[in-house]
């Protein structure tokens, strides 16, 4: 077993300066935020998305607390909120106790706002409910999550 405390989680990028110092160190968290801003998906995330069985989907936190967290949608209804009993617990005051729910209809998913104070947004537009497309950005409070359905379902839908 390795000790993570001894592992260097920084990335060095050469930066021209007038002082002669040409190295900028970034923490792993900042590098992850940068990749998310660029729409990048890590190889580990790609593997997780590729492994999804038909009828399931993955939400990945791209901005906000819990950056990089992944949530599997594999039941007919998945609740999201600040209540500890929510299926997806988002612990931030910008999230209502019962904020939203994701529901599966065959091989498609829909998000529905449950009367939250701050609303639920899909692609920057406040919605009561919306059908989710591959790569859709869902905002719940401070959290911005990207939706990835099973690749099997994406290919099947494209061929229909």
- pLDDT of residue 110 exceeding 80, the answer is yes
Could you list the beta-strand ranges (E) of 20-142: 23-27, 57-63, 70-73, 77-81, 88-89, 100-105, 108-113, 120-122, 125-127, 129-131, 137-140
Are 120 and 100 contacting, i.e. CB atoms less than 8 angstroms apart?
Answer: yes
Mean per-residue pLDDT, 40-66 = 92
Q: Whole-model pTM?
A: 0.75
DSSP type of residue 132: P
Indicate the length of the chain as a whole number: 160
Which is more confident, 38 or 46? 46
Sheet with 100-105, side-by-side order of all strands: 88-89, 77-81, 100-105, 108-113, 129-131
∠ CA 98-99-104, rounded to 5°: 100
pLDDT (tens digit, 9 = 90+) per residue, 60-95? 999 998 999 999 999 999 999 999 999 999 999 999
pLDDT score of 33 = 46
Question: Nearest CA to 35 among 63, 7, 4, 16?
Answer: 63
Q: How confident is the model at residue 37 (pLDDT cuts 50, 70, 90)?
A: very low
Residue partners of 20: CB distance under 8 A and separation at least 6 = none
Answer for the pair 96, 76: CB distance below 8 angstroms, yes or no: no
The answer to whether the beta carbons of residues 107 and 54 sit under 8 Å apart is: yes
CA distance 68 to 62: 6
Give the CA angle between residues 32, 94, 114 to the nearest 5°.
110
């Amino acid at each position: 077993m390795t000790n993570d405390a001894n592992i260097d989680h920084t990335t060095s990028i050469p930066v021209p300066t007038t002082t002669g110092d040409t190295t900028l160190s970034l923490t792993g968290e900042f590098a992850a935020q940068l990749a998310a801003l660029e729409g990048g998906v890590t190889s580990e995330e790609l593997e997780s998305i590729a492994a999804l069985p038909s009828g399931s989907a993955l939400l990945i936190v791209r901005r906000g607390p819990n950056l990089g967290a992944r949530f599997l949608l594999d039941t007919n209804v998945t609740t999201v909120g600040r209540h500890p009993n929510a299926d997806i617990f988002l612990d931030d005051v910008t999230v209502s106790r019962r904020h939203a729910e994701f529901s599966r209809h065959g091989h498609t998913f829909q998000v529905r706002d449950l009367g939250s104070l701050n609303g639920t947004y899909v692609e920057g537009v406040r919605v009561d409910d919306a059908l989710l497309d591959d790569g859709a950005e869902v905002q719940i409070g401070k959290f911005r999550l990207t939706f990835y359905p099973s690749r099997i379902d994406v290919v099947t839908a494209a061929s229909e």
